[in-house]
Structure formats: C-alpha cells, structure tokens
Amino acid sequence: MTDPRLVLTLRDGVARLVLRRPEKRNALDATMVDALLPLCREIERSAARVLIVTGEGGKSFCAGGDIAGWSALSPEAFGQHWVRDGHAAFDALARLTVPVIAVLNGQTLGGGLELAACADLRIAEAHVMIGQPEPGLGIIPGWSGTQRAVRRFGAQAVRRMALCGEVLSAEAALQLGIVDQVVPEGAGLAAAEVVAARVLARSPAATSLTKMLINAAEGEERERVLEALAGRIAAASPDLQEGLAAHRHKRPPEY
C-alpha cells in the first residue's frame, strides 16, 4: 500500500520520509497510517543506514491524527482499527534497526509527538510547539503516548503535557529531554544531515546491533530482539550448514 502524502527517498545510505499534507498540518489519516507499516518494511530491506523523518511546509511536523477521520468512528472501530493500526505502524518505525532522526519543523502535537517518540533522536526548530491535547478533546493519547512517551521522555514531562495541557516550547522540551537539539527555524534538515553523517561513519552492523540492544533495555520488543540476536549467531554457526547439508542428503548431521 502506498500513499502520495508519505514520500520516501533514499540517497547515499540516508533515507528520508516526508509527511506531505501541509494543508492539514501533516495530520495522519487512516490511509496514511496504513501506508506507514509497509514503508518501514521497505526501509528495513533497503540500503538505508539512517532515516530522517520530517513534515512538509515548515508550519507543522505533524499535528497528530486527523480529527475529522477518527471522530466519526464507532468506539469499536476506534479501538480495533484506529488505535491498534496506529500502534502497529508506530511500533514498526520505533523498531527499525537503523537509527531514526525526527526533524520537528513545526507543531508537534498528539499523534505527531507519538510519531516523534519513535525516533532515536529529535531535532527541534526554535519555533516548534509540542504537546498532547488529546485529554482536552475527551480522548487519550492512543498511539503509545502514555507508554513509549513515558519510557523515552519521562513520566513527569508526559504528565505536564497530557494531564495539565501544557504546550512546550522547543527550549522547554530540550530541558525536559524530549528533544535532543534545538536549531534555528529552517535549519532542522541540515542539522539532521550532520547527525546522519556521524551515523554513516560508524560500523553498520555494530550500530544496528547496538540500537536493538538499547531498545531491549528500554523495554521495546525485548523478546524479538533476543531471538533476532540469537538467530544471527545461530545462522553464522557452522552447525547450520551441517544441519542443512544433512537434511539435503538425508543423513544424520555430524555436529
């Protein structure tokens, strides 16, 4: 599934994913959410070694979920599809084995902040405003806005945004550890390219393995990480080749 409002490009090992819906402040609707999961698979299977995510237009990184879309859903459809499908897509982004850099170049609200939380590093332009407005609308932050966001930003920061409705400036977000760097307006992508170059200068295998271990330490897909790492070790073992050869020749393996 593809969506022209999610644009993925790859050049010299750096993938770039752009949310291209500026007329709606890059808000995500169901079709965009559905398209994000296969894009993550495409990134994982490509030559990309780092991913930069940003929004088009300079006014909004992502204003969250499209209210007109989700507000029309029944409670059953909201829980079974909107929330669950969003989790699946965002989990895939957070669990990419390549580092992910989010360039927050405008409003980063609700689902937009949950999208940013999937990144390993967040670069905020100085004019950015960050918040979790969902409880003010009578709904919860549903795309891991109380789970991954707490793990990555700390519970108190999430309390201030979600319970008290505080909207944070880029500098306030930096002090709370929500973003890693603040740059002038319009300078986010250039700053991300500098960080991407640092990633490219390091061992691809070691970087990938290290990210997986950090995710596991953080409680992100711990079981899958352990089995993936063990699978790599087993696949590199001479035992695998002997086992496959024995299977092909219908003989007992000689380990």
Active site residues: 114, 134
Looking only at the bridges linking them, the beta strands covering 14-19 and 6-11 are: antiparallel
Q: Using CA atoms, how far apart are residues 47 and 31, in angstroms rounded to an integer?
A: 26
Question: Can you state the angle between helices 238-249 and 222-235, rounded to 10 degrees?
Answer: 70
Residues 6+ apart with CB under 8 A from 232: none
Provide the residue count of the chain.
255
Q: Using CA atoms, how far apart are residues 127 and 219, in angstroms rounded to an integer?
A: 32
CA 156 to chain centre: 22
Q: Could you tell me which of 21, 17, 57, 36 has the C-alpha nearest to residue 192?
A: 17
Residue 68 has phi, psi (to 5 degrees) of -60, -30
Within 10 angstroms of residue 132's Cβ, the number of other Cβ atoms is: 30
